[in-house]
Structure 1
Amino acid sequence: MNDKLTITLNIAGRSCVLTIEREEEEAIRKAAQLINSKIAKYREKYANADPIDFLAVTALQFTVKMLEAEKQNNIESVLDRVREISGRLDGIVKELG
């Protein structure tokens, strides 16, 4: 069964037609709202700037946040592994003692 959906979004005043998985719709619409919200804030501050500049800066900000989140997830997985190994070593020490 094809569970695809075609939606039209307005991002920075431009229509974007996307074919997506039905379960992705809420997240994609929320992402478009966040982008438009950021761009609106830039428009208030810098009314004479090119809207493409707003898109570029917004994309950069969201990408930096995504990379920071990925880094945090990697650190957490390493810490989880260290905790697991530490627990195993504690068990071995108890058996020996």
Structure 2
Amino acid sequence: MIQENQYFDGNVKSLGYQTTEGKSTVGIINPGEYEFGTAQNEIMHIIEGRLSTMLANSKEWEIFEAGSNFEVPANSSFKVKTEVQTAYLCQYR
């Protein structure tokens, strides 16, 4: 089954699905700044666009371009910001 998700008044949308390795989502982030909480370990792959990220234990933004990824620990939070629509794949592992 495919699950539709919307966050921040529709500025972040994703489609969720289940694989043999676990849950994943693929989505789009509109320009803006957002903060997410995590329940599971998350691996974020940037498919297209550019995303700046600040993890909960960091004080600096790190930039991720298309083709790169970053990992967020379970039971944590992270901030993202972008100036362009950015496509991502998030794997919950």
> Which TM-score band applies after superposition, normalised by the shorter structure?
under 0.3
**For the pair shown, which has the larger CA radius of gyration, 1 or 2?**
1
TM-score, normalisation: structure 1: 0.24
Q: Which of 1 and 2 has higher RCO (CA within 8 Å, sep 6+)?
A: 2
Structure having the larger proportion of residues in helix: 1
Structure having the larger proportion of residues in strand: 2
